[in-house]
Amino acid sequence: MTRRSAAGLVAAAVLFAAAAAPLGVSPLAVVALAPLIGVVGEARSWRAAAGRGALASLAITLLVFYWLPGSVHAFFGLSTAWSWLVFPLYGLVAQPQLIVWAVLRWAQRHDRSVTVMVASAAAYTALDWLAPKLFHDTLGVALFSDGWAIQVVDLGGIYLLTFAAMFTTEVAYGAVVAWRGKPDAVARRSAWRGGLAAAVVWAAILAYGGVRRAQVTAAIAAAPTLNVGVIQANIGNIEKEMALHGDLDGIVGTLRRYGELSDRLATSAHPPDVLLWPETAYPLAYGAHRSPTDDGIDDELATYVRQRKLPLLFGGYDRTGEVEFNSAVLLAPSGDVTRYHKRILIPFGEYLPLVGRARFGTGGTPRVLDIPRASGPAIRIAPIICYEALFTSHAAAGVADGARALVNLTNDSWFVSSAEKRLHLVMAALRSIETRRAQVRATNTGISALILPTGELVDPGPEDEATALRYDVPLLELDATPVMRWGNWPGPASLVLVLGLALRAWLGALRRRRAGRGTP
C-alpha cells in the first residue's frame, strides 16, 4: 500500500468518526468514505481490495468504538491486556459491509457513470443492512443531529439516509476525479448528472423533513401528557455494592438510595403520575418467594408504592421455575403486578450466538403495559429494555398494540465511555421518529432523557451522577408510519436494485460478446 493510499484510509476513518456520535458533525457523513473509494480503486487485485476494506473496518472501529475493550473488561472480567489484544481481531470484521463493498467497488473502478454511483450506494446499503453487526450502526445514524434530514426515518428507517449519504459520497468522489486529472468529458458529464441527482435527493429529504417536523411538533403541542418521574441513582453494578457492604446491606442500601431519590418527587406538591427506575434497579426476582428475606424486601417495596399512591415501573428480574428473566415490573398502588420480559437479549452478554446458551429466558408476556392513573384511564406504554432499543420492529410492535409512548429502561454502566452512552441514546431516539411516539429513558448512570416524536432530546440528565428528573411525556396517537408497516425497506430494496443492475450489466456484456462473434 502506498503512502497516499494509507493516508486516504486514515482520512476516511477520521471523517467517519467525526460524523458519528458523540461528535456528530453530520455534514461529514455525506463525504466520509470518499477517500476510501480511491484507496480501493488503487488496489491491484480483488483480494487487495478486500484487505483494504478490512483495514478500513479496523481503523473505523478503533476510532468509533475505542471504548469497547474497557467495556469487555468491566462486563466479562477479561483482563485489560487481553481485551485490547482481542479488539483488533474484532475490528477487522466489525464493519463487514466494507470488505464486500470494497471488492464490488474495485470491480467497477474504471467506470465513472452515474449508474455505478447508484450501484455502489445500493450495494453498501444492502450489505450494511444484511451485516450481522453487534450495535446495528450504519452510516445514516451520523445524520441524527440534522433535525430536518432525520425526519425521513419514518418513511424508510435509517437505511434511507445511508443510501442518500453513500450516493452523495460517490458523487463527491466522482467530481474530484473528473476535475483533478486530465480533461475527461465523460467523467465530467457523469459528475454533473450525479451532482444534480444528489441535489434533488437532498432537496426532497430536507423539504419532507421540514414539513413533517412542523406537523409532528404541532401534534405534540396539542397532545395530553403523562408526567413521569425518572430516578437515576448512579448505581450501575449492584455486585460492587454487595461486595463492599455484604449481600443484604448492599441490596438494602441500593433500594434506600432509590427510595430517597423517589421521595424528592413523590412527596412534592405535585407528584408525578408514575415513577421509573432503570434496568436491573431492583436486584431481586420480585414476587419469586425465594426466601423470607426476599419476601420482606418485596413487601417493603409494595408498601412504599401503596403509601405514596404512585405506580412504579422498575427494571428487575422475574423467575418461572428455573428460568430467570430480565424484566420490567409495573407495581400499582392497588397491589396489582404486571410484567414484561425482555425479548431481545444481548449477544455474548445475555446469550451466546449459534451455541444457543442463554443467561435469561425471553418473551412470553404482553408487549405493552397499562399504567394506572388516579384520574382518567390507564395509559398504555411499550416497554423497551436496553439492547431492544436498537430494533425498529420491536418498538413498532408495541405501538401497533396501542402504546401511546415508549419507556426505555437501560443500564449503560458497563460502557465506560460517554461515547457509547451517546450512541445508544441516539439509536434509541430513532425509534421515536419511526413510530412518532415520545420515549422516556431511565438509566442507571446516564443518559436519562425525554425523546420527543421528532427525535429532539429534552433535558438529558447528567452522566455518572444521582438525580431525580421529571418529564411531561406527550401522548400521541398518530397513524402508523410507512416504516412501521414495511420495516426498513431501503435495505432489501437496495439489494434488489444492485442485483438488477448487475443482471443488466451481465446481459449487456453477453449481447456484446454474441455480436462480436456474429452470433444471431
pLDDT in tens, the chain (520 residues): 788 899 999 999 999 999 998 888 999 999 999 999 999 999 999 999 999 999 999 999 999 999 888 888 877 778 888 889 989 999 999 999 999 999 999 999 998 899 999 999 999 999 999 998 988 999 999 999 999 999 999 999 999 999 999 999 999 999 998 888 776 788 889 889 999 999 999 999 999 999 999 999 999 999 999 999 999 999 877 766 666 667 788 888 889 999 999 999 999 999 999 999 999 999 888 888 888 998 899 999 999 999 999 999 999 999 888 889 999 999 999 999 999 999 998 888 788 776 666 788 888 888 999 999 988 899 999 999 999 999 999 999 999 999 999 999 999 887 777 888 999 999 999 999 999 999 999 999 989 999 999 999 999 999 999 999 999 999 999 999 999 999 999 999 999 999 998 888 888 878 888 887 765 5
- pLDDT value, residue 376: 84
Domain span including residue 131: 3-219+489-517
Distance from C-alpha of 355 to C-alpha of 32, rounded to nearest angstrom: 37
Q: What is the CATH number of the domain that holds 450?
A: 3.60.110.10
208 and 252 co-located in one domain: no
37 and 175 co-located in one domain: yes
Contacts 24+ apart (CB under 8 A), 213-218: 213/147, 213/148, 213/151, 213/454, 216/151, 216/436, 216/453, 216/454, 216/476, 216/478, 217/454
159 and 305 co-located in one domain: no
Query: Residue 351 gets which letter from DSSP?
Result: B
In a domain, 289, yes or no: yes
In a domain, 76, yes or no: yes
203 and 307 co-located in one domain: no
Number of domains making up the chain: 2
Give phi and psi for 407, each to the nearest 5. Answer: -125, 120
In a domain, 484, yes or no: no
392 and 252 co-located in one domain: yes
- pLDDT value, residue 518: 61
In a domain, 354, yes or no: yes
204 and 232 co-located in one domain: no
355 and 273 co-located in one domain: yes
423 and 291 co-located in one domain: yes
In a domain, 483, yes or no: no
In a domain, 45, yes or no: yes
Residue 519 CA from chain centroid, whole number:
54
Query: Residue 462 gets which letter from DSSP?
Result: P
Spatial CA neighbour of 498 closest among 116, 95, 102, 111:
116
In a domain, 482, yes or no: no
161 and 24 co-located in one domain: yes
Confirm if 28 and 63 have CB atoms less than 8 A apart.
no
Angle between helices 80-94 and 68-76 (to 10 degrees): 130
56 and 176 co-located in one domain: yes
Place of cell 451520523: 142
147 and 135 co-located in one domain: yes
214 and 228 co-located in one domain: no
In a domain, 332, yes or no: yes
Distance from C-alpha of 231 to C-alpha of 443, rounded to nearest angstrom: 8
